[in-house]
Amino acid sequence: MSDRLAEPLKAVLGARTAGGLSKLGLTTVGDLVRHYPRRYDSPGTMTDMGALTVGEHVTVMAQVREARVRSMRSRGGAMLEAVVTDGTASLQLTFFAKRPGVLRMHEDKLRAGRTGLFTGTVGEYRGRRQLTHPDYLIVGVDAADEGEAMLEASRPIPIYPASAAVPTWRIGRSVRTVLDPLTEADVPDPLPAALREERGLPTLLEALRLVHTPDDESAYRRGRERLRFEEAFVLQTALARRRAAHAALTSVPRPARSGGLLDAIDARLPFPLTGAQVEVGREISADLDRSRPMLRLLQGDVGAGKTVVAVRAMAQVIDAGGQAALLAPTEVLAAQHARSLRDLLGPLADGGMLTGAEGATRVALLTGSLGATAKRQALAEAASGAAGIVVGTHALLSEHVQFADLGLVVVDEQHRFGVEQRDALRERGDHPPHTLVMTATPIPRTVAMTVFGDLETSVLGERPAGRVEVVTHVVPADNEAWLRRTWARAREEIDAGRRVYVVCPRIDADEPEPADEGDAGAVAMLEGDTAADAAVPLASVAATLEDLAGRPELAGVRMGAMHGRLAPDDKDAAMAAFANGEAPLLVSTTVIEVGVDVPQATMMVVLDAERFGISQLHQLRGRVGRSDLPSLCLLVSRAAPGTTAHERLDALAATADGFVLAEKDLELRREGDVLGASQSGGRSSLRLLRAVRDAPLIDEARALAVAVVDADPSLTDHPDLDAAVAAWLDPEREAFLERG
Ligand code: ADP
Ligand code: MG
């Protein structure tokens, strides 16, 4: 950043104004000029003062008759009242402030006899028309003559993101104060000049003037267009560099070998692979055979069958003499992965034992809460190479875990893993392992490109044949008849030998926020429209178990409980009892959200469903409909019709297509939330770019950024771009990027 842009606002605008702006996260000149108007009001047309209508946005040319500041005894604070007239009708102007001093500036300008333009929305007070806090322009002070004043007044009025303490018009003035004296040299432009010229884009300084002080609508559009392109371009350059840096690393190629573990697994698979599984398997197999480390994102809706794709990749690496690590976001999922891998491999997982088949390997499970003996054994198997596959949670990433020869890391459900952890694994040893990241959270292509732009992506678009769609209904929580019917329905499933999940947002009734790994609280808080019913406690695992135990519809049904605070053994026991049908109804928090695979589960009841976000509910729903049995998902909700929460649930009921839902999710979220919650402050945030709407622009920027980085990888010829990229890639930013 240039010296001018780095200048503190305090030095330029004074302590009081700067203090207010700092509450909006704006502390330097650079911050302020990057604080773009949210929208523009069209200039008020010049109005005949005799015909003012309350509520109308107007601009009038008039002469000041009087202006005076007075204290308000009743309300505290001070006000300035002025009267302006066009010779016949008059209009009152009113300004309020905490202290009279603040109003002196207006009083000084609004001297009797002066002429000016006054803009605002017409209000009425005690039968008199008035403008409160009007914007105004005094001839002879703000403009040389009436002609110039008229010209000024015909401009669009920028409306800034503001606060009560700093209203938009004060921000506008502050912006103009800092922007006016800036020169091209003060405002380095991250866009390469050639690119700018080719596309006919204004410079950064020009663009800033266009958005802050536009002459007309086409001016601010031109400015915004350029700033939006800049965001896309800088972001894509950052990603292209990351990708280039990654490509410069070398990995050990792990070519496929016939007659090994992979072939043995394929021979044992109880089902034929889908076309998509074969196709993606081929892509990954080729990647593994390269000396460039694989960095691939595998997207597939819940139930698409990602695990078997991962298993086959791991088998190829083991056949080539390496090891594979499988990382899961929760202990429940890690344990399940270990269990199902051992099931799938059968005797192939008994390497080194009498029962072991030829070419067999071992699957070690390594989680944080493992007993000391088990942990020691798992660590030993990882270090010696006896375990071809090591399954674990974050504990796997700790420094103590040694691998004999780690060739592949599979990260399941990436959205729970930070980039630091991913990099920690990648930086081990002389050669980084190949990395396969799997996610069921459907990410629209455009977002994937923006957020995961440094990964290659594969999509498992086809679900295994014979799957039926999960039927989903929204059930109003206050309809007791429906609830009875819900539990009777659950009973029918259980009597038919199936399983039922009941999901609650909390563990205990008196808990302030969800205490386990579920995101429910975070989502609800983020979206802020679901907490209305504070009087009624949210459903908890404890209270729901009690309630269900007393329901005649469920008499005699054994129920299990599952949540993040259970000891690992108890979690395993609960999952096992549920899976084998001993306790066919499981009351759980969202710990079961990702990956849990019990094919006989055919019904899910989500209590207080309005507390959860779309993608989370979609994930949860993915726990049922995992076989050819028809399945049902009931979303019990207190959301009132017409609220966003209700709309989310309706969207879920309307479609099971994760990609459609992800788009809907983006649409329902407030604009800025698309790429994460931390959109508000920080000089390098995405401000104008929107992943869905701006897809073509992002595409274009990506191609241009790749070309620039290819020609000049260290950006030596583009220092201003380099600086902008560095701002993007500060550690906080990077973690945010990868969090998705
Ligand atoms: P996800 O993509 O959500 O991780 P899983 O890998 O857990 O899905 O697979 C879901 C279920 O589908 C599992 O029970 C798995 O055994 C089964 N499955 C996977 N591939 C196929 C296939 N090609 N045909 C039939 N069933 C399959
Ligand atoms: Mg899975």
Whether residue 234 has pLDDT greater than 60:
yes
Phi, psi angle pair for 199, to nearest 5°: -95, 0
Ligand 1 neighbourhood includes 337 CB (under 6 angstroms): no
Q: Which residue has the higher pLDDT, 676 or 220?
A: 220
Q: Report the alpha-carbon distance of residue 375 to residue 725 in Å, rounded.
A: 43
Phi, psi angle pair for 506, to nearest 5°: -130, 165
Ligand 1 neighbourhood includes 440 CB (under 6 angstroms): yes
CA distances from 160 to 38, 44, 170 (A): 5, 18, 9
Whether residue 523 has pLDDT greater than 70:
no
Q: Assign 202 to helix, strand or coil.
A: coil
The owner of tokens 């479609």 is: 655
Alpha carbon nearest to ligand 1 atom 20, residue: 305
Q: Which residue has the higher pLDDT, 363 or 368?
A: 363
pLDDT at position 145 is 78
Sign (positive or negative) of CA dihedral 84, 86, 88, 91: negative
Please, which pLDDT band fits residue 528 given cuts at 50, 70 and 90?
Answer: very low
Residue range 616-633: mean pLDDT, rounded: 88
Helix/strand/coil percentages in the chain, nearest 5: 45, 20, 40
Spacing, Cα 467 to ligand 2 middle (Å): 16
Ligand 1 neighbourhood includes 684 CB (under 6 angstroms): no
pLDDT at position 615 is 79
Spacing, Cα 387 to ligand 1 middle (Å): 24
Q: What does the block give as tokens for 384?
A: 């010696």
Spacing, Cα 213 to ligand 2 middle (Å): 52
Mean pLDDT, the chain, whole residue set: 83
pLDDT at position 694 is 77
pLDDT at position 77 is 85
Ligand 1 neighbourhood includes 597 CB (under 6 angstroms): yes
The atom of ligand 1 lying closest to the CA of 599 is 14
Q: Is the pTM of this model over 0.75?
A: no
Q: Report the alpha-carbon distance of residue 538 to residue 631 in Å, rounded.
A: 26
Do residues 21 and 174 touch, judged by C-beta distance below 8 A? yes
Q: Report the alpha-carbon distance of residue 518 to residue 506 in Å, rounded.
A: 9
Residue range 140-146: mean pLDDT, rounded: 76
- The rounded percent of the chain whose pLDDT value lies above 70 is 84
Please, which pLDDT band fits residue 429 given cuts at 50, 70 and 90?
Answer: low
pLDDT at position 582 is 95
Helices and strands counted in the chain (H then E): 27, 21
Which among 426, 444, 443 is positioned nearest to 435, based on CA atoms? 426
Q: Report the alpha-carbon distance of residue 419 to residue 432 in Å, rounded.
A: 15
Whether residue 513 has pLDDT greater than 50:
no
- The rounded percent of the chain whose pLDDT value lies above 90 is 43
In tens, the pLDDT along 370-402 reads: 888 999 999 999 999 999 999 998 777 766 788
Ligand 1 neighbourhood includes 273 CB (under 6 angstroms): yes
The atom of ligand 1 lying closest to the CA of 626 is 11
Alpha carbon nearest to ligand 1 atom 13, residue: 305
Question: DSSP H helical segments within 456-582, as ranges?
Answer: 480-495, 520-527, 541-549, 568-579
Ligand 1 neighbourhood includes 271 CB (under 6 angstroms): yes
Ligand 1 neighbourhood includes 37 CB (under 6 angstroms): no
Ligand 1 neighbourhood includes 607 CB (under 6 angstroms): no
Q: Report the alpha-carbon distance of residue 91 to residue 86 in Å, rounded.
A: 9
Q: Report the alpha-carbon distance of residue 494 to residue 96 in Å, rounded.
A: 67
Whether residue 125 has pLDDT greater than 70:
yes
Alpha carbon nearest to ligand 1 atom 15, residue: 305
Instruction: Tell me the best of 273, 279, 308 to mutate to test the pocket of ligand 1, counting ligand atoms within 8 Å of each CB and taking the most.
Output: 308
**CA 534 to centroid of chain Cα atoms:** 26
Spacing, Cα 454 to ligand 1 middle (Å): 27
Q: Which residue has the higher pLDDT, 130 or 691?
A: 130
The atom of ligand 1 lying closest to the CA of 412 is 4
In tens, the pLDDT along 310-347 reads: 999 999 999 999 999 999 877 878 888 898 899 888 88
The atom of ligand 1 lying closest to the CA of 622 is 3
pLDDT at position 399 is 66
Spacing, Cα 610 to ligand 1 middle (Å): 29
Do residues 458 and 284 touch, judged by C-beta distance below 8 A? yes
Alpha carbon nearest to ligand 1 atom 26, residue: 464
Q: Report the alpha-carbon distance of residue 379 to residue 400 in Å, rounded.
A: 8
The owner of tokens 């406690």 is: 537
Q: Report the alpha-carbon distance of residue 19 to residue 14 in Å, rounded.
A: 8
Do residues 342 and 425 touch, judged by C-beta distance below 8 A? no
Ligand 1 neighbourhood includes 280 CB (under 6 angstroms): no
Ligand 1 neighbourhood includes 311 CB (under 6 angstroms): no
Q: By CB neighbour count within 10 A (0-12 exposed, 13-18 middle, 19+ buried), where does 228 fall?
A: buried
pLDDT at position 235 is 84
Which ligand is in closest contact with the Cα of 466? 1
Q: In sequence order, what DSSP letters do the residues of 611-631 get, joined into one string?
A: GS-HHHHHHHHTTS--SSS--
Spacing, Cα 623 to ligand 1 middle (Å): 12
State which residues have CB under 5 angstroms from ligand 2, the bound ion. 595
Do residues 468 and 345 touch, judged by C-beta distance below 8 A? no
Which among 716, 671, 665 is positioned nearest to 689, based on CA atoms? 671
Residue range 643-661: mean pLDDT, rounded: 85
Which domains are delineated in the chain?
Answer: 43-155 (2.40.50.140), 198-248+697-740 (no CATH), 261-460 (3.40.50.300), 470-655 (3.40.50.300)
Ligand 1 neighbourhood includes 344 CB (under 6 angstroms): no
CB atoms within 10 A of CB 23: 10
Residue range 85-99: mean pLDDT, rounded: 88
**In terms of residues, how long is the chain?**
740
Which among 415, 407, 409, 377 is positioned nearest to 396, based on CA atoms? 409
Q: What does the block give as tokens for 267?
A: 């021979």
Ligand 1 neighbourhood includes 307 CB (under 6 angstroms): yes
Spacing, Cα 627 to ligand 2 middle (Å): 14
Spacing, Cα 86 to ligand 1 middle (Å): 78
Phi, psi angle pair for 10, to nearest 5°: -55, -40
pLDDT at position 605 is 97
Q: Report the alpha-carbon distance of residue 474 to residue 641 in Å, rounded.
A: 11
Q: Assign 352 to helix, strand or coil.
A: coil
Q: Report the alpha-carbon distance of residue 246 to residue 738 in Å, rounded.
A: 15
115-125 vs 406-412, strand pairing mode: unpaired
Alpha carbon nearest to ligand 1 atom 16, residue: 305
Which among 52, 43, 57, 140 is positioned nearest to 91, based on CA atoms? 52
The atom of ligand 1 lying closest to the CA of 466 is 25
Q: Assign 599 to helix, strand or coil.
A: coil
Q: Which residue has the higher pLDDT, 240 or 695?
A: 240
Alpha carbon nearest to ligand 1 atom 19, residue: 305
The atom of ligand 1 lying closest to the CA of 307 is 6
Ligand 1 neighbourhood includes 626 CB (under 6 angstroms): yes
In tens, the pLDDT along 165-187 reads: 777 778 888 999 999 999 999 99
601-606 vs 559-562, strand pairing mode: unpaired
Whether residue 525 has pLDDT greater than 80:
no
Radius of gyration of the chain (CA): 31
Q: What is the DSSP letter of 28?
A: B
Q: Report the alpha-carbon distance of residue 172 to residue 15 in Å, rounded.
A: 17
Q: What does the block give as tokens for 276?
A: 């998509």
pLDDT at position 446 is 56
Ligand 1 neighbourhood includes 461 CB (under 6 angstroms): no
Residue range 613-642: mean pLDDT, rounded: 88
Instruction: Tell me the best of 273, 278, 307 to mutate to test the pocket of ligand 1, counting ligand atoms within 8 Å of each CB and taking the most.
Output: 307
Ligand 1 neighbourhood includes 156 CB (under 6 angstroms): no
Spacing, Cα 482 to ligand 2 middle (Å): 32
Range of lowest pLDDT (150-159, 286-295, 554-563) = 150-159
CB atoms within 10 A of CB 45: 12
Longest dimension (CA), the chain: 107
pLDDT at position 426 is 60
Q: What does the block give as tokens for 464?
A: 């295994």
Residue range 235-263: mean pLDDT, rounded: 87
Whether residue 671 has pLDDT greater than 60:
no
The secondary element (H helix, E strand) that includes residue 708 is helix 695-711
Which ligand is in closest contact with the Cα of 624? 1
pLDDT at position 355 is 66
499-503 vs 601-606, strand pairing mode: parallel
Range of lowest pLDDT (70-74, 293-297, 543-547, 692-696) = 692-696
Ligand 1 neighbourhood includes 308 CB (under 6 angstroms): yes
Ligand 1 neighbourhood includes 305 CB (under 6 angstroms): yes
Do residues 40 and 156 touch, judged by C-beta distance below 8 A? yes
Residue range 242-271: mean pLDDT, rounded: 89
Q: Report the alpha-carbon distance of residue 397 to residue 391 in Å, rounded.
A: 11
Ligand 1 neighbourhood includes 560 CB (under 6 angstroms): no
CA distances from 446 to 65, 350, 452, 665 (A): 58, 44, 10, 14
Ligand 1 neighbourhood includes 277 CB (under 6 angstroms): yes
Q: Report the alpha-carbon distance of residue 686 to residue 705 in Å, rounded.
A: 17
pLDDT at position 655 is 87
Q: Report the alpha-carbon distance of residue 520 to residue 522 in Å, rounded.
A: 5
Q: Report the alpha-carbon distance of residue 537 to residue 505 in Å, rounded.
A: 10
Ligand 1 neighbourhood includes 463 CB (under 6 angstroms): no
Ligand 1 neighbourhood includes 269 CB (under 6 angstroms): no
Q: Report the alpha-carbon distance of residue 211 to residue 182 in Å, rounded.
A: 15
Spacing, Cα 611 to ligand 1 middle (Å): 29
